[in-house]
Amino acid sequence: METIVFGLLNGVSYGLLLFMLSSGLTLIFSMMGVLNFAHASFYMLGAYFAFTITGSTSFWIALFIAPVLVGLVGALVERYGLRKVHANGHVAELLFTFGLAYLIEEVVKIVYGKTAVDYRVPDLLNFAAFEIYGATFPAYRIFVIFIAIAMLVGLWFLLKRTRAGLIIQAALTHPHMVGHLGHNVPFIFMTVFGIGCALAGLAGLMAGNIFVTDPAMAVQMGPIVFVVVVVGGIGSLEGAFLASLLIGLLQNFAVGINASFAEIFAFTGLSPTSEVGDITISSLAPVLPFLLLVLMLIFRPQGLMGEQEL
């Protein structure tokens, strides 16, 4: 019982954080096909910007300004970098974002120093919301859940219920057609890239104080965002949402299971002292998303909710 409750709570809160981080990439990846390896760097920028703004004003102001700043940086990168590179193909774009990730990390190091900065949860939210089975659940995590859901609703509204959203959606799948209809597709691309980066920045702002805000935080988030995007399916925010929750829950429940392969496959006569038999499910938890990625691509390449294959 405890395991289930804990697994659900943590799974949902971690999954939603993942969703905040990867929803932006879903938009970018679906529309532009860019394998943006610098996406996590924008996440890091969000945390650092929030740290600076929190220091001089307050967390609540940072909540609004930091993502916008990150979004602006993203839009500039698209306008003056990616757009030029686009003609040279996806590998060129990918390498551009590789270089960008190095660049952002080194610049952050020069500006903020090489070690972690002291970015704290705001005092207003720094208390235990409730206690179950002896463990407390921090109020800030509830706030994170709340923000993530608000973001999901906001994005959904923007994409499905506004004219701009309809154009973006159309451009996701049929950019040429949208161009022929007289819309400024490059501008749409820039806006979407900016919004995607802003969302990553928001995730950094929310996660930087739960985890650690240091120049290595982008590398640590690394490839997991691609897993969410691909598993969720191209062009599908709902898919990304489901995939994030799925991965969050999967990892958290797996941690709770102490069974080893030897116990599970006892019928095959697997010895508990052998190397295979010795592996426990909980020790596998962090690599499960990648297993999911590979299996999903082999058996269902369009992802959970995607309409097209990669």
Partner 1 sequence: MNFRKTAILAAATSVIAIGAASADTIKMAFIDPLSGPFGPSGEAAYTSFQLAAEHINANGGVNGDMIEVTGYDNKVNPKESLVQLQKAIDDGARYILQGNGSSVAAALIEAVNKHNARNPGEEILFFNYAAVTPAFTNELCSFWHFRFDAHADMKMAGITDWIAERDDIKSVYLIGQDYVFGQAVAAAAESQLAEKRPDIEIVGNELHPLGKVKDFTPYIQKIISSGADAVITGNWGADMQLLMKAAAESGSDVPYLTFYGGSKGAVSSLGEAGIGLLYQVSEVTTNLEASDEQYALIEEYKERFPDYDYYYHRAWNAMDMFVAAAEAAGSADPIPVAKALEGLTIEHAYGSATMRAEDHQIQQPLYISVVSDDVKYGVDNIDLGWKLVDAGTISMESAEQPTTCEMERPE
Partner 2 sequence: MSDATQTFQNLAPSAGAKFRQRTLPILIFAACLAAIPMVGPSRTFYTIAHQMGINIVFALSYNMILGKGGLLSFGHAVYFGFGGYVAMHAMNWIEDGSGLWAGFPVFFLPLVGFAGGALAGAIIGWPSCRKAGTTFAMISLGVAELVFAAAFMFDSFFGGEQGISGDRMNGVELFGLSMGPISEVYWFIAFWTVVGLVGMWAFTRTPLGKLSEATRDNAQRVQFIGYNPQRVRYLVFIFAGGFAGLAGGMAAVNYEIFTPDAMSLVPSGFVLIMAYVGGITYFVGPIFGAILLTYMQSMLSDFTEAWLLYLGVLFIAIVMFAPRGIAGIVFGIWDGLRGSNPGQYIAGLLMKLAGILLMLIGLIVLVEVSVRWSNGYGEVYEPFGMHLGHQNVLSWLIIVVTAVAGVALTRYASKDKEAA
State the residues that interact with partner 1 by CB under 8 A: 2, 6-7, 10, 14, 113-116, 118, 120, 128, 131, 133-138, 141, 210-212, 214-216, 219-221, 224, 251-252, 255-256, 280, 282-283, 285-287
Task: Give the CA distances from residue 208 to residues 111, 230, 232, in Å, rounded to whole numbers and listed in that order.
Answer: 17, 25, 25
Rounded to 5°, angle at Cα 184 from 151 and 177: 95
196, 67 Cβ separation under 8 angstroms: no
Instruction: Give the alpha-carbon dihedral of 207, 208, 209, 211, to 10 degrees.
Output: 80
Q: If binding is defined by CB under 8 A, does position 259 make contact with partner 2?
A: no
Q: Which stretch binds partner 2 (CB under 8 A): 56-64, 117-125, 237-245, 291-299?
A: 291-299
Task: Show the site string, 30-49: x = touches partner 2 by CB under 8 A, - = not.
Answer: ---x-x--------------
Nearest to 104 by CA among 201, 182, 210: 201
Q: If binding is defined by CB under 8 A, does position 273 make contact with partner 2?
A: no
> Binds 81, which of partner 1, partner 2, none (CB < 5 to 8 A, cut-off by type)?
partner 2
Q: If binding is defined by CB under 8 A, does position 265 make contact with partner 2?
A: no
C-beta closer to partner 2: residue 90 or 120: 90
Instruction: Give the alpha-carbon dihedral of 242, 245, 251, 254, to 10 degrees.
Output: -80
Kindly tell me the burial class for residue 8, based on how many C-beta atoms sit within 10 Å of its own C-beta (0-12, 13-18, 19 or more): middle
Chain positions 116 to 155 lying near partner 2, rule: CB under 8 A, are none
Tell me 122's DSSP state: -
C-beta closer to partner 2: residue 63 or 85: 85
Minimum Å gap between C-beta 67 and partner 1 is 20
Q: If binding is defined by CB under 8 A, does position 106 make contact with partner 2?
A: yes
C-beta closer to partner 1: residue 55 or 89: 55
What the block records as the tokens of 306 is 């995607």
C-beta closer to partner 2: residue 117 or 205: 117
> Binds 211, which of partner 1, partner 2, none (CB < 5 to 8 A, cut-off by type)?
partner 1
Kindly tell me the burial class for residue 1, based on how many C-beta atoms sit within 10 Å of its own C-beta (0-12, 13-18, 19 or more): exposed
Member of 58, 84, 154, 158 binding partner 2 (CB under 8 A): 84
A 10 A CB-CB count for 192 gives 22
> Binds 14, which of partner 1, partner 2, none (CB < 5 to 8 A, cut-off by type)?
partner 1
C-beta closer to partner 1: residue 237 or 281: 281
Q: If binding is defined by CB under 8 A, does position 111 make contact with partner 2?
A: yes
Task: Give the CA distances from residue 298 to residues 69, 286, 301, 302, 303, in Å, rounded to whole numbers and listed in that order.
Answer: 39, 20, 6, 10, 10
Chain positions 58 to 77 lying near partner 2, rule: CB under 8 A, are none
Quick one: angle between helices 2-32 and 39-56, nearest 10?
110
| Alpha helices, DSSP H, located in the chain | 2-32, 39-56, 59-77, 83-86, 90-112, 139-161, 163-173, 175-180, 185-207, 217-221, 224-232, 237-256, 261-264, 281-284, 288-299
In the block, which residue shows the tokens 């429940």? 253
C-beta closer to partner 2: residue 61 or 294: 294
Contact set with partner 2 (CB under 8 A): 33, 35, 81, 84-85, 88, 90-96, 98-103, 105-107, 109-111, 113, 222-223, 226-227, 230, 275, 279, 283, 286-287, 290-291, 293-294, 297-298, 301, 309-310
